[in-house]
Amino acid sequence: MTTLAIDVHGLAKSFGALKVVDGLSLQVSAGEICGFLGGNGSGKTTTIRMLCGLLRPDAGGGTCLGFDLLREPMRIREKVGYMTQRFSFYGDLTVMENLEFVARLYQLPERDRAIAEVLQRMEMTARANQLARELSGGWKQRLALAACVLHRPLLLLLDEPTAGVDARARREFWDLIHEMAADGMTVLVSTHYMDEAERCQRVVYLAGGRLVVQGTAAEVVRNAGLVVFQATGAGIEQAVRRLRHTPGVETAAVFGDALRIAGKDRAALQAAIDALPQDALAWLEVPPRLDDVFIHMLNEQEAA
């Protein structure tokens, strides 16, 4: 039987009259990398803060790493690493000084050894004496990750960890995540980057504080029921402006030299294509991608 690192049911949280999380149930297996998707305001950050014991749910409950969410939040915090959206360490301290501070907070034995090991793993040994404020965005994220895993947590909660860093730094960051997951760490990561979501073993999608879709990236795409057509040729800029206002076309966007349209009604999409000048564009039906599904879900959420 698979051990669950996260097993919560009916979580709810409001701030005044605003209901942010509404009856959320979530299960994440030990050792899994789970992607946490959803539009802004969908409840991702609030859920993460409840899971690590920083916020108390108004309703619902469950366990995180086997500890009760309501009765044992301090025990949970001892075993969880939480990386926030913004860099939250001291810019006027060096990399080493920031890690020493975190090590003392956790009262780690053999602090020097633990710090040396995490610096080596993050390939930051040569930057140990560099001020944190002088680091690039990618290296700041590595420092934040190093601080989060210094105490060897069993669960890592990452809230949009690669926002604002370049593509190479994002890829290297994700390589580190997969290395740690291979060692048995469970990872729950919120992201708006679909290439990152596709690197997760499973994704869950939140809307209005509720979990509405979950599965592997391939399963989520397959079950969405989207139809996508792609066109190349002259005049795609003119075509996209017209198609965006055509019934049945949920999304129309240009990617490089190609135009993609998506919707759930194949006949309506075909009718929209047939209404265009026939000599200008060459159309093909293509498989939907995760980003097509993500935009579709955002549109459904806004229309609800």
Domains of the chain (ranges; CATH) run 4-221 (3.40.50.300), 227-287 (3.30.70.100)
Rounded distance between C-alpha atoms, residue 184 and residue 234, angstroms: 51
Asked whether 53 and 77 are in contact (CB, 8 A), the reply is yes
Q: How confident is the model at residue 267 (pLDDT cuts 50, 70, 90)?
A: very high
Model pLDDT, residue 169: 87
Order across the sheet with 227-233: list the strands. 251-255, 258-263, 227-233, 281-286
Give percent of the chain with pLDDT exceeding 90. 78
Question: Mean pLDDT throughout 33-47?
Answer: 92
Q: How confident is the model at residue 167 (pLDDT cuts 50, 70, 90)?
A: confident
Q: From residue 123, give the alpha-carbon distance in Å to each of 92, 117, 176, 216.
A: 21, 10, 10, 31
Any idea what the Cα angle at residue 86 is, between residues 81 and 90, rounded to 5°? Answer: 80
Q: What is the pLDDT of residues 108-166, one digit of tens each?
A: 999 999 999 999 999 999 999 999 999 998 899 999 999 999 999 999 999 999 887 88
Question: Mean pLDDT throughout 52-69?
Answer: 95
Angular region, 209: left φ>0, alpha ψ -120 to 50, beta rest: left
Sign of CA pseudo-dihedral 215, 180, 196, 88: positive
Q: From residue 151, give the alpha-carbon distance in Å to each of 78, 80, 105, 229.
A: 8, 9, 10, 49
The residue with tokens 């080596």 is 120
Q: What is the pLDDT of residues 275-286, one digit of tens each?
A: 988 778 899 999
Rounded distance between C-alpha atoms, residue 56 and residue 13, angstroms: 8
Q: 137-149 and 167-182 helices cross at what angle (nearest 10)? A: 20
The residue with tokens 């080493």 is 96
CB neighbours of 65 closer than 8 A, spacing ≥ 6?
5, 6, 76, 79, 80, 154, 155
Rounded distance between C-alpha atoms, residue 6 and residue 64, angstroms: 5
Asked whether 185 and 34 are in contact (CB, 8 A), the reply is no
Model pLDDT, residue 252: 93
Phi, psi of 159 (to 5 degrees): -105, 100
User: What's the pTM?
Assistant: 0.89
Where would I find the H helices in the chain? 44-51, 73-79, 95-105, 111-121, 137-149, 167-182, 194-197, 217-223, 236-243, 266-274, 290-303
Rounded distance between C-alpha atoms, residue 116 and residue 112, angstroms: 6
Question: Mean pLDDT throughout 258-272?
Answer: 95
